[in-house]
Amino acid sequence: MKRLLLLGGGHAHVHVLKTLTETAPADVEVTLVSPYARQVYSGMLPGWIAGHYPIDACVIPLMPLCAKAGVRLLETAATGIDLAARVVHCADGSEIGYDVVSIDTGPVADMSIVPGAAEHAIAVRPIESFIESFRRIADDIAARAAAGRPGSIAFVGAGAAGIELALAMQHAFRNPLLTVTLISAANTLPGSVGPRIARIMRQRGFCILSGQSAARIDAGSVLLQSGATVEADHIIFSTGATAAAWPRASGLQTDERGFILVNDRLQSLSHPEVFAAGDCATMPDHARPKSGVYAVRAGPPLAENLRRALAGEPLKKYVPQAKSLYLISTGDRYAIGSWGEFSWEGEWVWKWKDRIDRAFMDKYSVGAG
């Protein structure tokens, strides 16, 4: 009996689980290690915040998939690997052996890059923690609105994820006394999307501090490198995603940032029995942005190569697409789309995104064909 161990319930591993419900290999014991029994689909999270979806529509329960696939689910997190012994150490003290292991744990928030962030800011990762934090923010903003008092939110980091969350929150709260500030070291999002986003945010009254970096975060304020201070009731840290420390500490070959280096078979460059996909991995010959779009696309080739590795068959080459479709919602059932240097916007783009997102969720629901 061979042992396949899946670390993390990310987008690529969700596809592996789905594949196992359809064609489970004989004489293979499969275990999934995940700190959460569900996978929150990040593409729909802003829609939940904006009030367009219930949270249950944005999550993929892992237990039903595991049960149908005959996979054991352990709700804990990996903390290290003994690569020589082929044993994974977990946060709950357990040790799990494997013949083949696949890692899809995603990035973590690096709160250390700005002093005070860990103590006074809310990280967008892990998503499960952010969901609970958002609920507390929503209660506070609602109480302020009911009392006729102003409220303020500051986002440190204005990449696509932070911008979507900011637009979704402003739409959800609908409080004219709410001030939303974005602090970003970059001047704008790249390509033709940047001017479209900037125009919409200006129209909606956002305070955009481009070319500004946070020097320190205190309770209720952000000190900028320029010396200016931004006061805010809630500070959301939407930058600084980095690799978990344990893959490098375990001896896996990583890039300079700690992301696992894999070849075009999604196989570790240093340990062929280890596979990795999604945001925790880097393909040096085919570097791509850390994005859920690429993590989703890595699912099918990962599932195929795990099957081949367990069967002793030659692995299949995978080259991620050079360009990807990006759809950024703006909170109010309106969205901006881009493909390379081309971009579009409108209500029809949001409807397009909604159809894509719902189709993705339907695909991985138990019972879907």
For 23-67, the pLDDT digits (tens) are: 888 899 999 999 999 999 999 999 999 999 999 999 999 999 999
CB-based contact 99:86 (threshold 8 Å) = yes
Taking Cα atoms as reference points, which of 109, 110, 103, 106 lies closest to residue 270? 103
pTM score: 0.93
What integer pLDDT is reported at residue 278 of this predicted model?
Answer: 92
| Measured distance CA(345)–CA(328) in Å, rounded | 9
Structure tokens, 6: 């899946």
What integer pLDDT is reported at residue 369 of this predicted model?
Answer: 46
What integer pLDDT is reported at residue 219 of this predicted model?
Answer: 97
| Measured distance CA(96)–CA(231) in Å, rounded | 47
Structural domains of the chain ordered from first start: 2-107+243-324 (3.50.50.60), 111-237 (3.50.50.60)
Q: Where are the alpha helices (DSSP H) in 108-240?
A: 117-120, 127-146, 160-173, 193-203
Residues of the chain with pLDDT under 50: 368-369
| Measured distance CA(331)–CA(253) in Å, rounded | 40
What integer pLDDT is reported at residue 366 of this predicted model?
Answer: 78
Taking Cα atoms as reference points, which of 163, 171, 202 lies closest to residue 327? 163
Q: Which residues of 306-341 are buried (b: 16+ CB within 10 A; e: fewer)?
A: bbebbeeeebeebeeeeebebbbbbbbbbbbbbeee
What integer pLDDT is reported at residue 190 of this predicted model?
Answer: 62
